Amino acid sequence: MSEETKHVYRLQGLSCANCAAKFEKNIRDIQTVEDVQLNFGASKVAIVGDASVEQLEAAGAFDGIKVYPEREKFNEEKVPFWQKRENKNTMVSLFFLIFGYISTFSAGESSLVTITIFALSILIGGYDLFKVGLKNLVRFEFDMKTLMTVAIIGAAIIGEWGEGAVVVFLFALSETLEGYSMDKARQSIRSLMDIAPDTALIKRGNQEFQIAVEDIQVGDTMIIKPGQKVAMDGEVIKGQSSINQAAITGESIPVHKKTGDEVFAGSLNEEGFLEVRVTKLAEDTTIAKIIHLVEEAQAERAPSQAFVDRFAKYYTPAIMGIALLVAVLPPLFIGGGWSEWIYRGLAVLVVGCPCALVISTPVAIVTAIGNAAKNGVLIKGGIHLEETGRLKVVAFDKTGTLTEGKPEVTDIASLSDMTEHELLSVAAALETFSQHPLASAILRKAAAEKAMLYTADDFQSLTGKGAKAAINGTVYYIGSPKLFEDMLAIPEHVQQSVSQLQAQGKTVMLIGTGEEIKGYTAVADQVRDSSLSIIQKLKKIGIEKTVMLTGDNKAAGASIGKQLGLTDVQAELMPQDKLDVIKSLRAQHGHVAMVGDGINDAPALASASVGIAMGGAGTDTALETADIALMADDLEKLPYTIALSRKTLHVIKQNIAFAFGLKLLALLLIIPGWLTLWMAVFADVGSTLIVVLNSMRLMKTKYK
């Protein structure tokens, strides 16, 4: 779909999957429309070409669908359940149905009074059904409403008025349940939309204005008082406060923000007064991207949903064919009564409705994706949800994923008359001009220990080995053991100490002059506190293999692997090597996830069955490259995501089994002639209700 000519609209009143398919077809029939993409889960439609809101509403008039441009604010009508017109009609229909059965006992089943009461029940409860069903029948469009219309008219013709009334009531109840379930599933998206405020207090010069977020410009200064929600993404320029980011990242503990830190729209300012420079327009904020991606995720069909949709396409005509054969063949060839076998044919028609089957997958997927989004996990489609549910292997990038990604000084040792404090001061002076990540660890340690501030002259970086500079007239070197091997003989006891530290996964830097080693410092990337428990949780939920991919030396990799209880460690890897490892794991195990930061690991993330990026909040690359983004910069949500995906797969399988099983059982009852019309509808309504309630269980899946 071309982005330039695409117009997106939000829909209100889109009640069922069949109605959605018909609405999409009606829009396609508009001559000026080139292409249409309807998203049932998010209740949105994207159109390429020209079509007015009036034309679109005319296309959805059969279901009372209202259409609004995507960016237009509208107050959704919140009509109480019992006050909706169709639900009122259903209740009146039930009243006449009960009254009709009372009349059966007093006036008789065939009396004009009883037939009139049942007819009123059918007409009131089935008005919307017949309006669509009869039009479809004339056009030879066979969907669920067509099947029901034929069944009810047939029941009336053969004198089964009471059964026809029961069928109408149960079908109306089924439609109500389906609409209610989709509304509940969509609420997860609506709750995301309500997270960020519609207006913000903006300071321009000495004046402050309350402005709609759509009118705020990048560079504006936003005032956020204690207890207020942040309306736009931005950077703190004044003040400090604790910010609750649970709505965006799923983190329950507030994060301390100070000058220079990033804040997200939808987060809550708990205590301080902040001035924030706006860095993104309303449509580009992190929460806006999350909403967009969640909605797009619901439009992307999962493999099981695609299968069910294909199956339903052939299933409905097949059921109509079977119903016709059941009604016609026995009276023609074995002398059965026409009335009895037409009745049985109508029962086949009713029980064969694919309603429960059609919604078995989308309700489960929409519910699961919404639940995940509320817990700070962005799943970008049903296909990724299903793949995650089948995972056997999880591969992790080391730096910044299993570890903090921030090296720390772990050891300082003097091998001369210099004190450790002096050694640290010399090391800090040498590293002041260095761009190496390990240099920042030494500088942080020196600042923490209040080391002396020496001045380094004639600094020179020795690529791949270290650096040198003159301090108080003496030239000092800092770098790898290799650097010093080229200048002098390293004593054996020093070599042993270096080897022991390297075996623990530490990087050792020697410090000295051209004639003598003065001491050494060891630096290591710290393993995240939560990494061990996460690996244990993954094993507990059935992940067979956990693999760490790192560019570090084998000793460092093995040390962390042992510490975390990983199944396998692949060390000294370049980005291309990581890609090859992922391909190899997929060939061996089939379903493999790659977890990384979404920047350095893009090729490996793309190659894995599921690419999972950490720290999606504020990171466009992570949001765009990964199949799943963990919005907070930690792995805590990974076991929850896999468990949710597995539960969703189970629910989908259960739904399809329920939908098929109940229908099959009902069809078998036709052979001895036990299946009545109302039992057929009850089987259809029952399977729909089971599928809906079973899918709703996914809302209760909580992050632990």
The verdict on residue 237 lying in a domain is yes
Q: What is the mean pLDDT of residues 55-70?
A: 82
Q: Lowest-confidence range among 455-459, 533-537, 541-545, 649-653? A: 455-459
| Integer CA distances (angstroms), 430 to 302, 309, 434, 456, 462, in order | 56, 67, 8, 6, 12
**Which comes out higher in pLDDT, residue 464 or 604?**
604
The verdict on residue 323 lying in a domain is yes
CATH number at residue 39: 3.30.70.100
**Would you state the pLDDT for residue 236?**
93
Q: Per-residue pLDDT for 501 more than 80?
A: yes
CA distance 425 to 422: 5
Residue 207: which H helix or E strand, with range? strand 207-212
**Would you state the pLDDT for residue 163?**
78
- Together in a domain, 589 and 674: no
Segment 8-33, tens digit of pLDDT: 888 877 766 667 777 888 888 888 88
User: 335: exposed, middle or buried (C-beta count within 10 Å: 0-12, 13-18, 19+)?
Assistant: exposed
Q: Enter the tokens of residue 80.
A: 């109480």
Q: Enter the tokens of residue 588.
A: 């061996």
- Together in a domain, 631 and 497: no
**Would you state the pLDDT for residue 129?**
80
CA distance 378 to 249: 10
- Together in a domain, 98 and 203: no
Q: How many other C-beta atoms can be found within 10 angstroms of the C-beta atom of residue 672?
A: 7
- Together in a domain, 138 and 205: no
Q: Per-residue pLDDT for 73 more than 70?
A: no
- Together in a domain, 398 and 410: no
Domain count, the chain: 5
Q: Per-residue pLDDT for 238 more than 70?
A: yes
Cα angle 604, 610, 616; round to 5: 80
- Together in a domain, 338 and 381: no
pTM of the predicted model, to two decimals?
0.72
Strand order in the sheet with 377-379: 377-379, 628-630, 610-614, 592-596, 393-397, 545-549, 568-570
The verdict on residue 289 lying in a domain is no
Residue 405: which H helix or E strand, with range? strand 403-414
Are 427 and 629 within 8 A, CB to CB?
A: no
Residues 6+ apart with CB under 8 A from 437: 407
CATH number at residue 537: 3.40.50.1000
- Together in a domain, 501 and 485: yes
Q: Enter the tokens of residue 246.
A: 């649970």
CA distance 667 to 66: 38
- Together in a domain, 609 and 640: yes
The strand pairing partners of 469, in sequence order, are: 476
Q: What is the mean pLDDT of residues 361-385?
A: 83
Identify the sign of the CA torsion 209, 215, 221, 223.
positive
The answer to whether residue 397 is catalytic is yes
Segment 90-107, tens digit of pLDDT: 888 888 888 888 888 888
| Average pLDDT over all residues of the chain | 81
Are 155 and 253 within 8 A, CB to CB?
A: no
**From 397, 525, 634, 684, active-site residue:** 397
The verdict on residue 290 lying in a domain is no
CA distance 629 to 480: 37
The verdict on residue 193 lying in a domain is no
Task: Give the position of tokens 């020795």.
Answer: 462
- Together in a domain, 373 and 235: no
Identify the sign of the CA torsion 573, 552, 543, 697.
negative
Q: What is the mean pLDDT of residues 535-555?
A: 87
**Would you state the pLDDT for residue 548?**
92
**Which comes out higher in pLDDT, residue 475 or 72?**
475
- Decide which of 527, 560, 576 is a domain's last residue: 527
**What is the band of 304 on the pLDDT scale with cuts at 50, 70, 90?**
low
- Together in a domain, 255 and 301: no
**Would you state the pLDDT for residue 528?**
85
Task: Give the position of tokens 């706006």.
Answer: 278
Residue 235: which H helix or E strand, with range? strand 234-238
- Residue 450's nearest CA partner among 473, 422, 431 is 422
**What is the band of 650 on the pLDDT scale with cuts at 50, 70, 90?**
very high
Q: What is the mean pLDDT of residues 632-655?
A: 89
The verdict on residue 330 lying in a domain is yes
The verdict on residue 689 lying in a domain is yes
Are 373 and 629 within 8 A, CB to CB?
A: no
- Decide which of 59, 78, 97 is a domain's last residue: 78
CA distance 248 to 618: 10
CATH number at residue 268: 2.70.150.10
Q: Enter the tokens of residue 398.
A: 């080391």
Strand segments, DSSP code E, in 555-677 are 568-570, 592-596, 610-614, 628-630
**What is the band of 673 on the pLDDT scale with cuts at 50, 70, 90?**
confident
Q: Lowest-confidence range among 20-24, 47-51, 614-618? A: 614-618
**Would you state the pLDDT for residue 620?**
66
Q: Per-residue pLDDT for 2 more than 70?
A: no
- Together in a domain, 209 and 331: no
- Residue 564's nearest CA partner among 596, 539, 601, 594 is 539
CA distance 185 to 179: 10
Strand order in the sheet with 268-269: 255-257, 241-244, 268-269
What percent of the chain clears pLDDT 90, i.e. is strictly above it? Answer: 12
The strand pairing partners of 45, in sequence order, are: 9, 38
The verdict on residue 194 lying in a domain is no
- Together in a domain, 432 and 508: yes
Secondary structure string (H, E, C) spanning 660-687? HHHHHHHHHCCCCCCCCHHHHHHHHHHH
- Decide which of 78, 93, 116 is a domain's last residue: 78
DSSP code string of 411-447? EEEESSSS-HHHHHHHHHHHHTT---HHHHHHHHHHH
Residue 604: which H helix or E strand, with range? helix 602-607
Q: What is the residue range of 69's domain?
A: 6-78
402 phi and psi angles, rounded to 5 deg: -85, -25
